[in-house]
Structure 1
Amino acid sequence: MRSFDFAPLLRSSIGYENLNRLVDAATRGEGSAYPPYNIEKVGEDAYRISMAVAGFGEDDLDVTVHENVLIVSGRVSEREEEETREFLHRGIGTRAFERRFELADTIQVTDAGYENGLLNIDLVREIPEEKRPRKIAIGGQPKIEAVKNEDREAA
């Protein structure tokens, strides 16, 4: 197993505590390549994940976002007609799956659609106003207002 020393990078970076975990996950790789997917940039701050899920219906798929992780899962529904069918070759996989995507804090999932055997998930980068670049005035004393005890109790 490879180990990376991020100390030189972290000396001048703040808030990248998860970097080591993300690199470990990336170097480990995923065990399965099923189902195949594409990630494309469709605009300046817009992305789309297209996942080939032939054989699954909309009700068989689940798209969830939890703590900056996009989780796409598919479950095989019980189909009575398939039990009576005899396949000579079965190349369309319909096994259950779960695929996870790490999302940056500024990435939001905006939509998901299913068309022609592809699950399309649209994402957009939304940078909050407090995270946008802003000019900081250089002045004398820092202006920090003390919170009064009465204000704390009211909140």
Structure 2
Amino acid sequence: MRTTFDFSPLFRSSIGFDRMLNALETASRIETVDNWPPYDIAKTSEDDYRISMAVAGFAQDELDITQEQNMLMVSGQKAGEDKGEYLHRGIAGRAFQRRFELADHVKVVGASLVNGLLTIDLKREIPEEMKPRRIEIAADKAMPKGATKKIEGEKHAA
């Protein structure tokens, strides 16, 4: 039995959370779970992440990594069909496409393929204008004790 959540009340009462609510709605609609190729997501430091995918049998030129706005797409397509006769074929060589939803300001900083393991390094880079900053408080000249400020306005003849 599958339970579907209705996010429409959240859309009506929240402002600026559209991307997050759309991601939740999309995630609740996913019907098939494709677990190939297997992958890991690791947080390597406060603002650094790493995706590792087991892509045995794929060459570097058969893999494609694309980042479009907040979506990272990793796909693989074998160049040619192997015409050999197999008694057993346990190494998957089928085409795949894996999508990862990225948070705002997360960028791909590098990718490498070593021994059948594709590693993608990601970094969250928060713009300077969004980082917390300290506001200096200006000191006003102290008034002599007992002195009061007078506010003078313009005098108008009636």
Distance change in 2, residues 1:30/1:62 (3 Å): farther
The TM-score normalised by the length of structure 1 is: 0.76
1:77 and 1:132 mapped to 2: Cα distance?
A: 45
> Are residues 1:105 and 2:85 paired?
no
Distance change in 2, residues 1:21/1:59 (3 Å): same
Correspondence list, 1:3-152, <5 A: 3-4=6-7, 5-6=9-10, 10=14, 14-29=15-30, 31=32, 32-79=34-81, 82-83=82-83, 85-135=84-134
The TM-score normalised by the length of structure 2 is: 0.75
Displacement of 1:26 in angstroms is 1.8
Gap regions ≥5 residues in structure 2:
138-158
Displacement of 1:28 in angstroms is 2.5
Displacement of 1:104 in angstroms is 1.3
1:114 and 1:91 mapped to 2: Cα distance?
A: 21
1:48 and 1:29 mapped to 2: Cα distance?
A: 24
1:17 and 1:88 mapped to 2: Cα distance?
A: 51
1:47 and 1:30 mapped to 2: Cα distance?
A: 27
Specify the structure having the higher radius of gyration (Cα): 2
Deviations for 1:90-124, whole angstroms, at most 9, x for unmatched residues? 11111111111111121010000001111100001
Q: Which residue of 2 aligns with 1:150?
A: none
What amino acid is the match of 2:39?
Y
Displacement of 1:15 in angstroms is 2.6
Identity within the alignment, %: 51
On the 8 A contact 2:106/2:125 being kept in 1, the answer is yes
1:127 and 1:20 mapped to 2: Cα distance?
A: 22
Distance change in 2, residues 1:131/1:66 (3 Å): same
Find the residue that maps to 2:23 and give its secondary structure: helix
Displacement of 1:89 in angstroms is 1.0
Count of aligned pairs: 132
